Every structure is written in structure tokens, then in C-alpha cells.
Chains A and B, each alone.
Chain A
Amino acid sequence: MDAAVRLTDVTKTYGAHRAVDALSFTVPRGSIFGFIGPNGSGKTTTLRLILHILYPDSGGIEVLGRAGRRAANDRVGYLPEERGLYRKMTVRRVLAYYAGLKGMGARDARREAAAWLERLGLAAWADRKVEALSKGMQQKVQFIATVLARPELVILDEPFSGLDPVNLEVLREVILELKRQGITVVFSSHDMSKAEELSDTICMIYRGRKVLDGTLEQIQDRYGMDTVRVRAGGGAGALEGIPGVQKVRDLGQVQEVRYGGDPQELLKALVARTRVERFEVARPSLHDIFIRIAGPAAAEEGDGGA
């Protein structure tokens, strides 16, 4: 398999803290790769390692076929989690500068920037200073800066956080469009449902260690068909005491049940107890799988820089 990024046993420590621990994974070329895990699990550190902003203590990192440091950086676009634009520069100049740093010619960059600004509805703002733009517009400019120099690999750190629904949809479309053009997209997210929608391949890390990777189907196959979504009179209470029920995740109107045996038995037991409005044998969600692997405590883990 032709790999856009290949990590082999990569470890990075900060003092006593092991941010990334013997991490290995492969990003297939031309795919959308979701890199997921709760906040503070080492996602940003890993992305910075891929960009050679940081250097690993041990292990190998190969990007676009080059193992050398920074050798491939001109072909990689990066959207950091915290957006960074010069507030006093005009949109056009910032974009020209960032593209120039990737080695793009000035005229080429101008043309490409104009096209992107047009496409994302910012053409009228091209000669305004960045500080005059709204936060949403600045995020779009930052995104244009990421893809302007026609990278072969795009790395997006938490691209969906802080976006309103309209911009979220715009970003999704653009990411899919990049994929159609054959560009590899790696994005990190702590929001598993986003990853589920978009990714071809997923890698899940927790406390610096990989807990899971593969395509969504592979992962779900591995974790079986033991999840049942139920809507029944009495809500979660109706499920209490039925043998074989291992876990109930109460979503309000619907309960997600992990059931050890044949789902037909569960249905029978339920019908005997109450009125069943909905009964669906489903694959477990990524979130569910994550909880199963990392334990319930992991879901609560939040804060602390990723």
C-alpha cells in the first residue's frame, strides 16, 4: 500500500510525561484519515511530529516517501488548532506570504488565492486587514492558507471546533473535494461522530498509545453486531434485569444496549415486558467502541492541551 505518512514506533516525551508512546500507523495515499482521541491524548504532538515541528525521541517518520527531516514539508499543508494570522496584514498579503514560504511563485499564489477567496465567499475582503474579519472568516482564510500551495498532504488539527453549522458544511465539502483531487487529508478530532462521517481510515489514540486503527468497517466488524438500539415504553427502566444485557447507554428517547446473546432473545424478553416502538440491531458507534476500550473514565477526560 502506498503510504502518505508512515509512523514506526514513535515515542516523544516531555520530561517525565510520555506524550506519544510507541505509536505506529500508516495513512494511505488519497484517503481521509481521522485521528481521534480525547483532549490531551497526544494528537497535536503526533501531528507536529509528522510536520517535523517536533522531533521524536525514537522511532521513524516517513512523509510522502521522504524520511528526511522537513524534506517534504513544502508539499504538506497544515492547519493548526489555534489559528495564526498576522492581524495587521491584508488577507491577500498573508496568503501570498504563507504560499511563498511553501515555495509557490508569487503570480501563481495570487491567482490561486483569488480563486479560493471567490469560492469561500471572501473575495470582497481580500484587501482588508485580517483584524477586520469576523472569527469565522478568519478561519476560512486560515484554511485557504493551508491548501493554497497545492499540497499533496493536508493536516488539519481540530478543524471542526468552533465552526458554525454553515461553515461546518462548507469545510466538509472542501475536504471531500480535496479527496477527489487525490489529496491525502489527515485530521484530528475529539468529536468521534465527525470522524465517523468523514474518515476512510481511523486511528484512535488514548494517553499517547494507539488503541485502535483501520477502516470504519474493519473496526465495527471487529467489535461485532452486539449493539441494539431500542425505544420502548418505560425507557431505560424496561431493560433492567434482562439477562445478557451488559450495558445500557441512555440517549433519552433511545437506549443503546450491548447484548451478549442473540438479539432475538432480547426482543422477546422486551415484548414480554412492555411496548416496543423501535428495535434496531446496529453496529457500535466509535464513541461506544472507545468507551469499551478505554473504560468509562476515559470519556470524562477533557482539558489539558492535546
Chain B
Amino acid sequence: MRKVWRVARTEYLNLVRSKAFLIGVFLMPVLMGGAIALQALVGDKVDLRDRRVAVLDRTGTLLATLEEAARFRNEHGIRKDGVQAAPRFVVEDAADADVASLSDRVRGGDLFAYVVIDEGVIAGDEGAEISYHTQTPTFRDLPEWIRIVLNGRIRQERFRAAGLDEALVERLGRPAPLRQYGLAKVTSTGEVKKEKVDEFAVFGVPAIAMFLLFALVMMAAPALLNNVLEEKIQRIAEVLVASVSPFELFLGKLLGTVFVSWTLSLLYIGGGLFVAGHYGVLDRVPFPLLGWFLLFQLMALLIFGSIFSAIGAACSELRDAQSMMTPAMLIVMFPIFVWFIVLRSPDSPFAVGASLFPPATPFLMLLRIAIPPGPAAWEIVVAVAATALFTVFCVWAAAKIFRIGILMQGQPPSLRKLLRWVRAASE
């Protein structure tokens, strides 16, 4: 055990002292913050060129409505804080034109789109429609705007034709609002309180917890692959296993990685708590969740650290390792693919299954625990037990592969050979 400790300590110091680690520590939040900032920045960058639309109006009345609405919108509706925030819509009468020449004008860039309004749309005739033609169907603002403007006018026309007072219909048709609350709580005075849904606690905390766990595991575990591979390529492994058993070496490396990841936790969670304290919102920090976080972090690191070290030990070249990485990365990415499904419906059979059966359990169970009211106690017990068993299995199997692979050179083994290594009688 002393040697395991010695390996872990050196691995830890080597990693923590490296420039890459220091840069990574600062880069992760900077990148995440940067991505959000970039999105906010790019979100404002709207293409402000005029959108010219030709209208072939067969009703004879709707064109004027559209022209009037466009004029009003261009004067009052496209400015935000005094600057133009949306493109102008320019409506053009195309009564004498045919669709072929209009299409040519769209192709030539002179027009953005053209619209054909069938005669029967006001009466609501079967098959009558407003057809919108463009080369840029991804720009949704213009057709949406046309739909709303024309339908408002068409409704007015239909009410008038039916002799109804539009204001009255509007009032009678007003929907009742639906607002979301938590469960009722009875206070000590017997008063029943309505609780508003805390969006941060319901969506923010689970998402932050899971993605932070994912980031911390991914910042530490894949490094083991390169680390083991380098020792193989540089022939350091042989020197090491002459002093420590391959299992001690493997365990030391895993522990070193766990310590690195825990150090990151300390930095980020500590930093987060500090910021929360600064803004006086410490009471909104879910402290019990921190305990689960650290437990699942440990298990995730042991599972994925084992997988990545085994790949490193089985390969002799970076190229081979990269091709073996792909299936491993799919397993690793699984929680990222499904987290939103679990968040939306945390007690669905899929969510329960995925959070009870490894290897995604550390991430998905943490996510479910973080979503109020949380899973049943037995589910947590089963998930932790299953994950712990799976962790032991991964470490055991990876140790076997590591023991044989670390001294092998040349061709990487086939899957069948890897399985034989795992099954091989222990030393």
C-alpha cells in the first residue's frame, strides 16, 4: 500500500504541476463563460438587410392590409433601444406578374420571397391557401409575420360578414391563465401557502451538478490513457514494474487521478460557494447534494479511469488508442445524450433504468437526486450498490488487462484477446 501511495503522490504532483493543468483549471470556466458570452453577442447579430416580398393578391383586399402593416412595423416595430434590431419588410404589388418571373427574381436576389393569396381564403373555401415561396425557408420571421397579419384581417372580415361584434368575441374567447406552483404547505398558524416553482432549484441545480460532474471526470480520466501509453512507449513501464506490481502501479495511477479530480472539485465548488456567500445566496446551495456528488465522482473516476488506463495499456501507438477511444467515448457521452429526457420525466421507466444500471449511473442518478423531490430511497440504494459493484468489476478487469498489456509491444489485441486477458488466472 505504501508503494501505491507513492505512485499516486507522484502521479498527482506530475499532473498538478504541469502547465496544462493550470491552464485547464482557468480555461474551463473561461471557456464556459466565453461560450455563454459569445452566444449573447452573436444572438444580437441579426441580418438587417431589407426583406422584399412580392404579393400576388387574388382577393383584391389583403394586399393593402399587408402594405399598411409593413409600413407600421418598419416605423415602430423593429427598433430596440433606439437601434434597428430586425430587418424591414418591404411589400410589393405583383398583380401583373406570373410565378415563373417572380421565381426568377427570387433566384436573382432581387426578391426575398413571393406570396400568392388564393381568392377563397377569406371565405375559408376548401383548398384555398396563402402560399409562400422562397429560397431561404429557414428564415421564419417573414412567413410568420404574414400569417399573423393576414389571419387577423381575415378573421375581422369573417366576423363582419357574420354580423358579430369583434370586441365581444375577443372577450368571450379569452383563455384562463395557467400558472405552475409547488405542493401546498401548511404553516404553523394553519395557513395554507402556495409555493411558486423555483426554476433554479428544479432546472439549474440538477443541470449544474451533472455537467460539473461530467466536466470534472472528463478533465481527469482520459489523461490516464496518454499517461499509460507514454510509459509504454518510453519503456518506463518496465522500470516501474520491476519495483512495484502492475496492480499497485495501476491502483496508484487511479488514485492519483481521483486526487486530481477532487482538487478540481475543491477549486470549483469552493469557488462557487465563495461566490454564493458573496451574494448572500448560500441558503440556496443544496449541501446534501455535495455528498452525493463526491461519492458519484469517486465511482465515475474509478470506472472511466479503469477503462482509459486499460485502453492505454492495451495499445502501443497513439493511433491504435484513438480508434479504441471511440466506443469508450460513446459510453462516456451517453448521459449527455439523455440527460434532458431524464430531467423532463425523472421517474419514467427509462430514467429509472438508466440511473440504476451502470455505466451512466453516476451521472444520471446524481441528476435524479438533484431534481426535487428525488427518487425513492430504494432506488438510490440500488444505484449506489450497482455502481459500486460495477466499479469493482471495472477496476478488476482493467487491472488484468493492464498487467498483461503494460509490457506488450506491437499490435493492439483484438476484443477476444482482451477478454482472454481478463479471464486469465490471476497471478
Could you list which residues of chain A lie within 8 angstroms of chain B, going by C-beta atoms?
48, 51, 53-55, 69-70, 73-74, 76, 78, 80, 82-89, 97-98, 100-103, 142, 145
In the bound complex, CA of A202 to CA of B31 (Å): 64
B241 touches A84 (CB 8 A): no
In the complex, the chain A residue whose C-beta lies closest to that of B407 is: A53
Which residues of the other chain, A, contact B241 by a CB distance below 8 angstroms? 53
Known: A84-B237, A101-B6. A76 touches B242 (CB 8 A): yes
A80 touches B14 (CB 8 A): no
B245 touches A84 (CB 8 A): no
B240 touches A101 (CB 8 A): yes
In the bound complex, CA of A101 to CA of B5 (Å): 10
Which residues of the other chain, A, contact B238 by a CB distance below 8 angstroms? 48, 53, 80, 82, 84
- Besides A78-B239, A85-B234, 9 other A-B contacts (C-beta < 8 A): A55-B427, A80-B235, A80-B242, A84-B234, A86-B234, A97-B6, A101-B243, A101-B244, A102-B243
CB within 8 Å of A: which B385-423 residues:
407
Q: Within the complex, what minimum Cβ distance (angstroms) separates B229 from chain A?
A: 13
B427 touches A80 (CB 8 A): no
Q: Let me know if B344 is at the binding interface, CB within 8 A.
A: no
Which residues of the other chain, A, contact B14 by a CB distance below 8 angstroms? 86, 88-89
Q: Let me know if B7 is at the binding interface, CB within 8 A.
A: yes
In the bound complex, CA of A78 to CA of B237 (Å): 12
CB within 8 Å of A: which B10-53 residues:
10, 14, 18
Which residues of the other chain, B, contact A78 by a CB distance below 8 angstroms? 239, 242-243
Q: Within the complex, what minimum Cβ distance (angstroms) separates B251 from chain A?
A: 14
Of B2, B236, B237, B242, the residue contacting A73 (CB under 8 A) is B242
Which residues of the other chain, B, contact A51 by a CB distance below 8 angstroms? 242
A98 touches B239 (CB 8 A): yes
**Majority secondary structure, A binding face:** loop
B240 touches A82 (CB 8 A): no
In the bound complex, CA of A102 to CA of B7 (Å): 11
Query: Which residue, of B6, B231, B407, has the highest number of chain A Cβ atoms within 10 A?
Result: B6
B234 touches A98 (CB 8 A): no
Q: Within the complex, what minimum Cβ distance (angstroms) separates A189 from chain B?
A: 18
CB within 8 Å of A: which B240-267 residues:
240-245
Which residues of the other chain, B, contact A74 by a CB distance below 8 angstroms? 243
- Identify 28 residue pairs between A and B in the complex whose beta-carbon atoms are under 8 Å apart, listed by A's number: A48-B238, A51-B242, A55-B427, A69-B427, A70-B245, A73-B242, A74-B243, A78-B239, A78-B243, A80-B235, A83-B235, A84-B231, A84-B237, A84-B238, A84-B240, A85-B236, A86-B14, A86-B234, A86-B236, A97-B6, A97-B10, A98-B243, A100-B6, A100-B10, A101-B6, A101-B7, A101-B243, A103-B2
Nearest 9 interchain pairs by C-beta: A84-B236, A84-B235, A101-B243, A82-B235, A78-B242, A84-B239, A80-B238, A51-B242, A100-B6
In the bound complex, CA of A76 to CA of B239 (Å): 12
In the complex, the chain A residue whose C-beta lies closest to that of B5 is: A100
Q: Let me know if B3 is at the binding interface, CB within 8 A.
A: yes
Q: Within the complex, what minimum Cβ distance (angstroms) separates A244 from chain B?
A: 50
In the complex, the chain A residue whose C-beta lies closest to that of B239 is: A84
A53 touches B234 (CB 8 A): no
A88 touches B243 (CB 8 A): no
In the bound complex, CA of A98 to CA of B241 (Å): 11
Of B3, B234, B407, the residue contacting A101 (CB under 8 A) is B3
Which residues of the other chain, A, contact B234 by a CB distance below 8 angstroms? 84-87
Which residues of the other chain, B, contact A102 by a CB distance below 8 angstroms? 243
Which residues of the other chain, B, contact A89 by a CB distance below 8 angstroms? 14
Q: Within the complex, what minimum Cβ distance (angstroms) separates B248 from chain A?
A: 9
Query: Which residue, of B14, B239, B242, has the highest number of chain A Cβ atoms within 10 A?
Result: B242
In the complex, the chain B residue whose C-beta lies closest to that of A77 is: B242
In the complex, the chain A residue whose C-beta lies closest to that of B9 is: A100
Which residues of the other chain, B, contact A55 by a CB distance below 8 angstroms? 427
B18 touches A88 (CB 8 A): yes
The interface bits of chain B over 174-210 (1 if a CB of A lies within 8 angstroms of the residue's CB, else 0) are 0000000000000000000000000000000000000
Query: Which residue, of B2, B234, B238, has the highest number of chain A Cβ atoms within 10 A?
Result: B238
Q: Within the complex, what minimum Cβ distance (angstroms) separates B23 from chain A?
A: 15
A73 touches B235 (CB 8 A): no
In the complex, the chain A residue whose C-beta lies closest to that of B233 is: A84
Q: Within the complex, what minimum Cβ distance (angstroms) separates A110 from chain B?
A: 15
Which residues of the other chain, B, contact A82 by a CB distance below 8 angstroms? 235, 238
Which residues of the other chain, B, contact A88 by a CB distance below 8 angstroms? 14, 18
Which residues of the other chain, B, contact A80 by a CB distance below 8 angstroms? 235, 238-239, 242
In the complex, the chain A residue whose C-beta lies closest to that of B234 is: A84
Q: Within the complex, what minimum Cβ distance (angstroms) separates B75 from chain A?
A: 66
In the bound complex, CA of A73 to CA of B246 (Å): 13
In the bound complex, CA of A40 to CA of B234 (Å): 21
In the bound complex, CA of A103 to CA of B235 (Å): 21
In the bound complex, CA of A84 to CA of B242 (Å): 12
In the complex, the chain B residue whose C-beta lies closest to that of A87 is: B234
In the bound complex, CA of A82 to CA of B234 (Å): 8
In the bound complex, CA of A54 to CA of B235 (Å): 16
The interface bits of chain B over 215-243 (1 if a CB of A lies within 8 angstroms of the residue's CB, else 0) are 00000000000000001001111111111
Which residues of the other chain, A, contact B231 by a CB distance below 8 angstroms? 84
In the complex, the chain B residue whose C-beta lies closest to that of A83 is: B235
In the bound complex, CA of A80 to CA of B236 (Å): 9
Which residues of the other chain, A, contact B245 by a CB distance below 8 angstroms? 70
In the bound complex, CA of A98 to CA of B231 (Å): 14
Which residues of the other chain, B, contact A48 by a CB distance below 8 angstroms? 238, 407
Which residues of the other chain, A, contact B427 by a CB distance below 8 angstroms? 55, 69
Which residues of the other chain, A, contact B240 by a CB distance below 8 angstroms? 84, 101
In the complex, the chain A residue whose C-beta lies closest to that of B243 is: A101
Q: Within the complex, what minimum Cβ distance (angstroms) separates A149 from chain B?
A: 9
In the bound complex, CA of A91 to CA of B245 (Å): 24
In the complex, the chain A residue whose C-beta lies closest to that of B427 is: A55
In the bound complex, CA of A51 to CA of B243 (Å): 9
In the bound complex, CA of A145 to CA of B242 (Å): 12
Q: Within the complex, what minimum Cβ distance (angstroms) separates B142 from chain A?
A: 58
In the complex, the chain B residue whose C-beta lies closest to that of A146 is: B239
Q: Within the complex, what minimum Cβ distance (angstroms) separates A299 from chain B?
A: 27
CB within 8 Å of A: which B93-149 residues:
none
